[in-house]
Amino acid sequence: MRLQHATWQEVEAYLARETGIIVPIGSTEQHGPNGLVGTDAICPETVAWEVGKRHGVLVAPTQNLGMAQHHLAFPGTISLRPSTLIAVLRDTVLSLSRHGFTHVFFLNGHGGNIATMSAAFAEVYAERSLQQAPGSELHLTTNNWFAGPRVRELAEALYSDAEGTHATASEVALSWFARPEAVKQVEMSPRIAPRGSAQCDADEFRRRFPDGRMGSDPSLASIEHGKRFFEASVDDVWEAYRTFSGRE
């Protein structure tokens, strides 16, 4: 059930029986020579919609922009500053909380968002804690589709060391499954990209990772692999959501 496709009366009815919601969050950033700029948003969105459809969980619109400052030396990247992303997530959570949502499950597609998301949750809680306002029940969590147990196992089996940490083979595969019309066949050179830390500014990042990949060989990806990651992730996420929301 997608929030964008519901009327407010349908949301009201949903809230009468369930107060959890899934919010896909990604990024708009380069993903190397054969990866899509939208990879990090497309992947969690695709998984979230399927979980929503199979299990009747409401799915909010995707947050397409994330914290991607280190990718800004590559054309097409759009980044929010951490302070901006904190404000966006704060307003999102306060809006949902006003309606009675108690469990907000952010399904994340970008490792670079994780720290800022955690800071954003703390910012929301700190407003309550500093003012001793009791506040209503509010549970917040970040779930990374790429870190679920079934997904990790599959990536290890398919790619081992060539999976990498940015523009990974697994995320390229899933994005191709979701957008078969956008598959690109590109040869990688070197086959496996250099490894290293992304904690730096954009110019330094591009010096370290000249074609944008980090430690990966995404030419191993395929639509068929993507389908398997899709199924693995839908199961991972549904399991995590059930535990988080306390739903049967």
Residues 197-236 that bind a second copy (CB under 8 A): 199-203, 212
Stretch (H or E) spanning 23:
strand 20-25
Question: At 174, which amino acid appears?
Answer: L
Which x/- pattern, by CB under 8 A, does the window 155-194 give for a second copy? ------------------------x-xx-x-x--------
> Is the peptide bond prior to 190 cis by the omega test (within 30 degrees of 0)?
yes
For residue 143, report the phi and psi dihedrals to the nearest 5 degrees: -120, 125
For helices 169-178 and 39-55, give the axis angle rounded to 10 degrees.
60
Chain positions 22 to 51 lying near a second copy, rule: CB under 8 A, are 28, 30-38, 41-42
Q: Which residues pair with 66 in a beta bridge?
A: 79
Report the nearest approach of a second copy to the CB of residue 160 (Å): 25
Tell me how far apart the alpha carbons of residues 178 and 2 are, in angstroms, rounded to a whole number: 17
Question: At 140, which amino acid appears?
Answer: L
Report the nearest approach of a second copy to the CB of residue 73 (Å): 7
Please identify, among the stretches 48-56, 135-143, 147-155, 230-238, the one whose residues bind a second copy according to the rule CB under 8 A. 135-143
**Count of residues engaged in binding a second copy, rule: CB under 8 A:** 93
Which x/- pattern, by CB under 8 A, does the window 95-124 give for a second copy? xx-xxx-----------x-xxx-xxxxxx-
